[in-house]
Structure 1
Amino acid sequence: MTTATSRHSDRRISPVFVGIVAVMAVTGWATWTGFAEQPGVAVFLFVTAAWIVSLCLHEYAHARTALHSGDITVGAKGYLTLNPLKYTHALLSIVLPVLFVILGGIGLPGGAVFIERGRIQGRWKHSLISAAGPLTNVLFAVVCTAPFWLDALDGVPDTFRYALAFLALLQVTAAILNFLPVPGLDGYGVIEPWLSYNIRRQVEPFAPFGLLAVFALLWLPEVNGVFFDAVDAVLRALGVSDWDTYWGQQLYRFWQGNPEIPAQ
């Protein structure tokens, strides 16, 4: 029997998530003030922690939307606590996305909350559940770039500015990749309820390989160029320049040596 107390505990914010937010806040302060002797280390910890926070919010958005759409099991699974250790595949949702950021500077879509779709009625609800995650990345990108498109950068230290720009790049890449209508990604989940049963059955076996196929295509210079041209176009529309994202990534990769950042 589910009690009010158990329901409350199912939705209590996890200390793990609070700890990640604390790391983000402290290292964000260090990045802003220049407190750290090596600014790249502070930028690395700040951006990585903020990226993990965004991954948690991405999965939370899927779960919360599913809860209000009819899947009341998401609470008992721990998905509403924002604890990344509760995901079905923590490796896919947290470890690999962070690894891809470190190695390639690209926002890998996570995704490992198990939604019991049979409990949910209505195609619009299924589409909204799938869209909720990448829409969180879109919102995160808008917040990160607010100082840029509001023309409110006066007084913002360059190091913090570049860190925000790189974090915004990660959010934009994650949103674009997630919205691709490829089996296994959220974009396909948005359109899947509107496809015929036969098409869904034919596509289903390819879902586990959709993300791998996308990243294989991104290795092709032509595809990679088109993809990052789209990312840059979105960032420019939000007021973020190539200069900002370049130096953000240079600072993030502190192990390559602390770069001398020229004044704009």
Structure 2
Amino acid sequence: MAIQATRGERRVSPVFLALVAIMAVSIWAVWTDYAASPGFSVFLFVVSGWLVSLCLHEYAHARTALHGGDISIGAKGYLTLNPLKYTHAVLSIVLPLIFVIMGGIGLPGGAVFIEQHRIRSRWKQSLVSAAGPLTNALFAVVVTAPFWLGALDGVPDNLRYALGFMAQLQVTAAILNFLPMPGLDGYGVIEPWLPHRIRRQIAPFALFGILAIFGILRIEPVNHAFFDMIDTVLRALGVTEWDSYWGQELFRFWEGTPDIPPLDGHVLDGLYG
């Protein structure tokens, strides 16, 4: 028999709809150059878009867990896309924003609590963990559609840069989440296949996974290798280093509006010539 949630448990939260509305308005503001500070509009777009992607990431975990056998998901409010059901003020909002500001890294944020004993197989447990970062990957593909479809004619440069920076955050979130580090989804993918003794020994370190990543990325060769990988993925999606760099500069609106040179083919040729 198919596992379903009640209508109330599936009703989309007004908070999520408000985030989508803010995202839409901020896209309009960037497109029309409505705000006095274009960077502030880019900031609103990136932050609201990041929170929307966070909701979709956690919803993917929850929905996959529901179909895997965890019928407690609906009662916990995870199917409503309400970020308040997923987030911890520091771990989900403050810390990720600090990472974005410091280095343009999309740090994994929210969390849903899955009752793993209800999931009927190890394959389904792995799929529950993989569903989140796969959603970030899909979000990146959607955000970059104008780039890889060659549909950027008429798109204002500032919106192009904002989309490029948003894509960078989604790609970093997907890759970081897939790392087999305790506390991250990548470890959740392989955890069901580990001996119980090893899982029990690793469990206390789950809370330190994100902090460990921060420390590892401070190592210069690792940092360069990581961002080279990000750049390779972005190039495959049609996003140039120029796009993501100026998107991040606009995002930091408190530093003032950057003096962005006009975008032309010679500039892009110079980046990769």
Using the size of structure 1 for normalisation, the TM-score is 0.95
Aligned residue number for residue 194 of structure 2: 195
Give the counterpart letter for 1:73 in structure 2: S
Contact 2:62 2:73 in 1 (8 A): yes
Could you tell me which residue of structure 2 aligns to residue 142 of structure 1? 141
For 2:104, give the aligned amino acid: G
Q: Distance in 2 between matches of 1:260 and 1:252?
A: 13
CA distance in 1, matches of 2:245, 2:165: 8
Counterpart of 2:64, as a letter, is T
Output the CA distance in 2 between the equivalents of 1:65 and 1:90.
25
Query: Structure 1 residue runs of 4+, over 4 Å off?
Result: none
Is residue 219 of structure 2 the alignment partner of residue 215 of structure 1? no
Corresponding residue for 2:12? 13
Cα distance in 2 for residues equivalent to 1:189 and 1:35: 44
The CA RMSD over aligned residues, in Å, is 1.5
In the superposition, relative to structure 1, how do residues 54 and 118 fare at CA in structure 2: closer, same or farther (>3 Å)?
Answer: same
**1:98 aligned onto 2:97:** yes
Q: How does 1:21-170 map to 2 (within 5 A)?
A: 21-87=20-86, 89-170=88-169
Unmatched runs of 5 consecutive residues or more in structure 1: none
Match of 2:271 in 1: none
Checking the alignment, whether the CA contact within 8 Å between 1:84 and 1:94 is kept in structure 2 is no
Q: Name the CA distance, whole Å, in 2 between partners of 1:16 and 1:166.
A: 24
* Uncovered stretches (5+) of structure 2, i.e. residues with no partner: 264-273
Distance (whole Å) between structure 2 residues aligned to residue 90 and residue 59 of structure 1? 16
Distance in 2, Cα, partners of 1:67 & 1:90: 26
The DSSP-based 3-state class of the residue aligned with 2:76 is coil
Quick one: distance in 1 between partners of 2:23 and 2:257? 21
SS of residue in 2 equivalent to 1:76? helix
Distance in 2, matches of 1:166 and 1:53, equals 15
Number of aligned residue pairs: 260
TM-score scaled by length of structure 2: 0.92
CA distance, structure 2, for counterparts of residue 220 and residue 102 of structure 1 = 19
| Superposition deviation, residue 98 in structure 1 | 2.9
Equivalent position amino acid for 1:75 in 2: G
Deviations 1:211-252 (A, max 9, x none): 111111111111111111110111011111111111101111
Give the structure 2 partner of residue 240 of structure 1: 239
C-alpha contact 2:87 2:93 (8 A) present in aligned 1: no
Matched letter for residue 217 of structure 2: L
- 1:130–1:189 contact (8 Å) kept in structure 2: yes
Is the 8 Å Cα contact of residues 44 and 253 (structure 1) preserved in structure 2? Answer: yes
Displacement of 1:88 after TM fit? Answer: 6.2
